[in-house]
Amino acid sequence: MEPIEVRFPDGTSRLFPKGTLLRDLLPEGKEDDKPVAGKIDGKLLDLQSPVEEGGELEWVRLSSEHGVEVLRHSTSHVMAQAVQSLFPGVKVTIGPAIRDGFYYDFDADRGFSPDDLPKIEGRMKEIIDQDLPIVRRAVPREEAIRLFRQRGEPYKVELIEELADGQVTLYEQGDFIDLCRGPHLPSTGRIKAFKLTHVAGAYWRGDERNKMLQRIYGTAFPTAEALEEHLYLLEEARRRDHRKLGRELDLFSINEEAGAGLVLYHPKGALLRTLLEDFEKREHLKRGYQIVMGPQILKLDLWKRSGHYDNYRDKMYFTEVEGQGYGIKPMNCLAHMLIYKSKIRSYRDLPLRYFELGTVHRHEKSGELHGLLRVRGFTQDDAHILCTPEQLNGEIQAILDFVRDVMKVFDFPYNLEISTRPEKGTIGSDEDWERATNALRSALEQSKLPYQINQGEGAFYGPKIDVKLEDALKREWQCATIQVDFAMPERFELAFIGVDGEKHRPVMVHRVILGAMERFIGVLTEHFAGAFPTWLAPVQVILLTVTDPQIPYAEKVFHRLIESGIRAEKDFRNEKLGLKIREAEIQKIPYMAVIGDREVKQDLIAPRARTGKALNPMRVEEFIQKIKEECKIGGESYR
């Protein structure tokens, strides 16, 4: 047997016969502490996999990112085994590990309900307690097809028939067999902490033309403490759900009479959005952007020329006017290019930074719509920068600085990714894609910002930097993007007159900072649990009277607040003060200003924070100044 050299984590090297199982290389130690998988030169391997090539060995332990993925994948198999044990005749389909857990899709004659989950969990615990070995088998493709046909598993047969490989891998535990690449845990007993969370429907292979399946979600963690923390965060996420808060705070609604995925902003929600938009306009203007506006529909020929019709039309809406085809815009870039082309440009004019709070419409599938986070009509804080190739690096770095400044205002940490060229459906030359990708990478490295590569997830016209912000519950959301595009300027024949008097092609940078306003408001609502900072709160203070005799004085205070630009409401109802305070706290209004007989006599108000903390009584002017100070961002007042 041909020997291969494996370099261990401690720096030592050893020779092994080719095909040695990875588990035979395991270090000594307690069973619970042993690795659950390994990587040879970065390639993830099951402990039962043969080592076919030498290289650098890295052990994967249960507490690592890959270890948790292996744990969750194995737990999904245990769940499938439990379901088939409890509900004979159920057919299994696929059951992957996902970001926060796992799921498995089943073809069942009955619908699963939350009431079924405790029963399934109980059977899973029995399987785990049996500590069944999880055995990997590599078998010829035809043998696997025969096996699953005999077991009455048509979905597995369909998957195997599409595989080009002559061999496939199967995993067995007890009487359960599944088609899977792995890797998996050595045995079911290594699963210590899991929970089934909810049920849902899902079409086979995500295609609504296929059969609706039953999906069961769950999660698993290396320790009970980690699981408990995760379940707490899930409960907190339910409490912070922006759809729930949107109703309670009267911010927005989505009415089926208007249409799915179309947002109706109520007065407080519209004011919240206006405050965000005003903030955005000021921040853009002071960075040299020019505000522009484009039409909602553009001729179909333009969308064909840009490549949207070929590569994006499934997401677009179309209409016809006097026999002429039009596309309702899903993006703002075409109008911005037409503005650029409206006159001859010199190198002295560049860079040009066009900014638009542009409303767009995209055809999202109904099953993918989700409150404000996934809608069909939304407004982007969209900008397109047209610059010389020499200016590109500086423009990207300036956008990165812009992102940093804005995310700091909202207290969002974030991570960066470069999304590279998709395999199919792109425009532009290989050379242009390489230039664009290198420009993004260079700007990040010069700014000394860490980043990861997101392979194949770029736009059809260029690679991009995706900004993944992290909210108060440690969830990631993609909002800001920076995209470099050499293809569109070429297609639309954009030009500037250079120093040499000749025409040259500019580079276009597509970018958003907050992204879709709807999505950002949804994320922001959950991040702050509806308790928006004072500068952003639709209502900053509510006046509460103790009894009716204080109303005349309270009206004067109310008008003084309004005249000073403070967003105020009043509650002068003949109700108990405690009830008024509780209702104001539910509305998450930053301050309540209580007015009783003492306040009237001494020309004061008694402020109370939404946290329940009572402040010392103060004069109205002092209170106004306090709110103004809280609304300052970088020395500027945002109210």
**Full 3-state SS string of 436-503:** HHHHHHHHHHHCCCCCEEECCCCECCECEEEEEEECCCCCEEEEEEEEEECHHHHHCCCCEECCCCCE
Residues 114, 198 contacting (CB under 8 angstroms): yes
Candidates 384, 421, 519, 570; catalytic one: 384
Candidates 77, 215, 273, 464; catalytic one: 464
Whether 237 is in a domain gets the answer: no
- Do 116 and 201 belong together in one domain? yes
Mark whether 441 is an active-site residue.
no
Report in angstroms the alpha-carbon separations of 296 from 188, 360, 549. 57, 7, 54
Candidates 195, 361, 362, 468; catalytic one: 362
Mark whether 384 is an active-site residue.
yes
Mean pLDDT on 140-162: 92
- Do 156 and 203 belong together in one domain? yes
Residues 439, 393 contacting (CB under 8 angstroms): yes
At residue 54, the pLDDT reads 85
At residue 471, the pLDDT reads 93
At residue 513, the pLDDT reads 96
- Do 504 and 588 belong together in one domain? no
The torsion angles phi and psi of 387, rounded to 5 degrees, stand at -145, 170
- Do 580 and 523 belong together in one domain? no
Whether 407 is in a domain gets the answer: yes
- Do 578 and 603 belong together in one domain? yes
Model-level pTM? Answer: 0.83
Candidates 116, 382, 432, 485; catalytic one: 382
Mean pLDDT on 293-310: 94
Q: Domain holding 204: CATH number? A: 3.30.980.10
Under the banding of pLDDT at 50, 70 and 90, the label for residue 634 is low
- Do 179 and 227 belong together in one domain? yes
Mark whether 571 is an active-site residue.
no
Mark whether 380 is an active-site residue.
yes
Whether 133 is in a domain gets the answer: yes
Domain containing 23: what range? 3-60
Mean pLDDT on 276-283: 96
For residues 521 and 147, give the distance between their C-alpha atoms in angstroms, rounded to a whole number: 51
At residue 428, the pLDDT reads 84
CA proximity to 490, closest of 511, 509, 510, 504: 504
Give the domain-ending residue among 527, 553, 584: 527
- Do 522 and 548 belong together in one domain? no
Q: Domain count for the chain, please give it.
A: 4
Mark whether 333 is an active-site residue.
yes
Share of the chain above pLDDT 70, in %: 98
Please check the confidence at residue 457 and state whether its pLDDT lies above 90.
Answer: no
For residues 353 and 149, give the distance between their C-alpha atoms in angstroms, rounded to a whole number: 61
Mean pLDDT on 179-184: 89
At residue 170, the pLDDT reads 93
Mark whether 382 is an active-site residue.
yes
Q: Domain holding 396: CATH number? A: 3.30.930.10
Amino acid 487 reads A
At residue 19, the pLDDT reads 83
**Tens-digit pLDDT profile for residues 320-351:** 999 999 999 999 999 999 999 999 999 999 99
Whether 375 is in a domain gets the answer: yes
**Tens-digit pLDDT profile for residues 77-131:** 999 999 999 999 999 999 999 988 999 999 998 889 999 999 999 999 999 999 9
Whether 633 is in a domain gets the answer: yes
Whether 326 is in a domain gets the answer: no
- Do 200 and 340 belong together in one domain? no
At residue 48, the pLDDT reads 86
Whether 207 is in a domain gets the answer: yes
For residues 64 and 61, give the distance between their C-alpha atoms in angstroms, rounded to a whole number: 6
Please check the confidence at residue 637 and state whether its pLDDT lies above 90.
Answer: no
Give the domain-ending residue among 503, 527, 551: 527
Candidates 46, 214, 333, 421; catalytic one: 333
- Do 563 and 523 belong together in one domain? no
Mark whether 391 is an active-site residue.
no
- Do 56 and 129 belong together in one domain? no
Whether 30 is in a domain gets the answer: yes
At residue 636, the pLDDT reads 61
Q: Domain holding 546: CATH number? A: 3.40.50.800
- Do 511 and 551 belong together in one domain? no
- Per-residue tokens: 196: 């089934």
- Do 258 and 403 belong together in one domain? yes
- Per-residue tokens: 255: 């009415």
Span between the terminal Cα atoms of the chain, in Å: 76
